[in-house]
Chains A and B, each alone.
Chain A
């Protein structure tokens, strides 16, 4: 009985970083969909992407492994590849955020608002004018 309980506990907590990934992913995704403020949408998108970064970083970790730098005393190295991959993905994420934020600046100039519902109302008015 005791062993089943510890098994479940180990299953739930032993991979806690993946729980963090799932929570962040869903939180970020929710913010992207639910918020009407464009800046908040970009923030949500960032949280969503960050969850993937953590997932990749967790993949690379090997229990007992050291940092992947050649060292005489090392017996086991962590896998550096996922970390390198996610560096690339972080760069892509930064580029996306920068582009998103600069688009928001242009939208603010053009519409005078960063609230999606107000912009939508203005756009629809334009659609009807045409």
Chain B
């Protein structure tokens, strides 16, 4: 009985938990405990959904018993169960971490609000992923975005406020573009259900209106996923947000937006329309190649390591879009695999920076001199995450880059292969800067002595760092999921969904 309600519980648990979390505003510890418990239960639900999908195939859940296409439907298939798993998994690690980290960064009276926003953001992100209804997706997108703006504005620096405001403006423009696109599609087809849209869009042929809808949707989603050059909101937002929020958003929000892009491009509009009529690959490939090279170089010159990681995120999103733009099963598998893997590596790196911030109060490279000796576990986890970004064998980053390069070779695009390799070298340089500062430079004279971060920060950090090695050495699980999802998406071009 309960197991048939799992798709609803996935979103409803954190969504209904959020007001209770807020009511506990006098007792931040309790509201944190509730949020953590709910994040774990969301992870549990995602695991059960994964098992169900692997045993019985796609799950369709009609809300309130109203059958699709009239009612709102939640759909769990091989593509989004991967995203549900990674989003709730990251939440299950970051939520426990957040308590200790938040003590240093947020005033006690605001802490419950912070946990409430995190929970709402989790509900929104899971909802975007699971929704089978185009309008429902928009509403949940705004739930997650509004709570993200709130979280960012709680950063200690006053620049967090302007970063949040800038993100609010750009994010709202993006979301409005998405509803314009959805509205035009509704005008053309009379439906909002994604499967229904997928079966009706081919009948429209190459109508001008559906092309306009496609343009609005791609631009809107592009703003949300920080597609170069629409990424301007991202570096400040990640740099000035509280550490726990940076880790959570960096590891999940843009990945969910990439999922939405894949859903629209492949499932709803279909391979034929997106790639043969609209030639969207000729947007994605140049934009992502430029993003990979340009933002990697910009990352080299950042003094704040959180901001450096933010620029690196834009480059990594470039890899995902490049995978989509290759228009072959291997490329799409690489994009999905990188979605999963990048969440693990950026999660670990931002959590490591959170631990550094907890001890020294900032994340500037020159304050990290000699930190390798004083915070050995934190910096070792950073190195693991860093190696993964570079793409060293036995880390997750290697697996997804390897598949991506295979996809590029399949198309015979050798210059693209070269770009990926050059960008990996640049990534090595910017990770090396931190390693050099932490391990080779002596601690400045007179600087106060620093001890290792507390276990409540180290355990979540090392869980993610270990996941980077585990899924790098043993990529079968994530690889199979990504590949079968990619195959289904390409075949769906023929049979509808």
Bind each other: yes
Q: Is the CB of B139 within 8 A of A88?
A: yes
Q: Is the CB of A99 within 8 A of B146?
A: yes
Q: Is B281 an interface residue (CB 8 A)?
A: no
Q: Which residue of B150, B159, B161, B364 is within 8 Å of A126 (Cβ)?
A: B159
Q: Mark A74-89, 1 if CB is under 8 A from B, else 0.
A: 0000000010010011
Across the interface, name the chain A residue whose C-beta is closest to B364: A130
Q: Is the CB of A99 within 8 A of B169?
A: no
Q: Is the CB of B162 within 8 A of A119?
A: yes
Q: Mark B457-482, 1 if CB is under 8 A from A, else 0.
A: 00000000000000000000000000
**B residues near A82, Cβ cutoff 8 Å:** 183, 186
Q: Is B105 an interface residue (CB 8 A)?
A: no
**A residues near B303, Cβ cutoff 8 Å:** 130
Minimum C-beta distance from B232 to chain A (A): 12
Across the interface, name the chain B residue whose C-beta is closest to A25: B180
A59-B187 Cα distance, complex, nearest whole Å: 6
**B residues near A27, Cβ cutoff 8 Å:** none
Q: Is B168 an interface residue (CB 8 A)?
A: yes
Q: Is B135 an interface residue (CB 8 A)?
A: yes
Q: Which one of B32-40, B171-179, B309-317, B406-414 contacts A?
A: B171-179
Across the interface, name the chain B residue whose C-beta is closest to A96: B172
Q: Mark B151-184, 1 if CB is under 8 A from A, else 0.
A: 0010000110110110011001101100110010
User: What count of chain B residues pass the 8 Å CB interface test?
Assistant: 28
**A residues near B187, Cβ cutoff 8 Å:** 59
Q: Which residue of A49, A96, A107 is within 8 Å of B161 (Cβ)?
A: A107
Minimum C-beta distance from B129 to chain A (A): 19
Minimum C-beta distance from B147 to chain A (A): 10
Q: Is the CB of A110 within 8 A of B158?
A: yes
User: What count of chain A residues pass the 8 Å CB interface test?
Assistant: 30
Question: With A92-B139, A130-B364 in contact, do A99 and B161 touch (Cβ < 8 Å)?
Answer: no
Q: Is the CB of A45 within 8 A of B164?
A: no
**A residues near B77, Cβ cutoff 8 Å:** none
Q: Is the CB of B135 within 8 A of A103?
A: no
Across the interface, name the chain B residue whose C-beta is closest to A95: B146
A118-B316 Cα distance, complex, nearest whole Å: 33
**A residues near B161, Cβ cutoff 8 Å:** 103, 106-107, 110
Q: Is the CB of B183 within 8 A of A32?
A: no
Minimum C-beta distance from B33 to chain A (A): 27
Q: Is the CB of A107 within 8 A of B169?
A: no
Q: Mark A89-130, 1 if CB is under 8 A from B, else 0.
A: 100100110011001101100110000000100010010001
A59-B135 Cα distance, complex, nearest whole Å: 15
Q: Residues of A at under 8 Å CB distance from B?
A: 29, 32, 38, 41, 45, 48-49, 52, 55-56, 59, 82, 85, 88-89, 92, 95-96, 99-100, 103-104, 106-107, 110-111, 119, 123, 126, 130
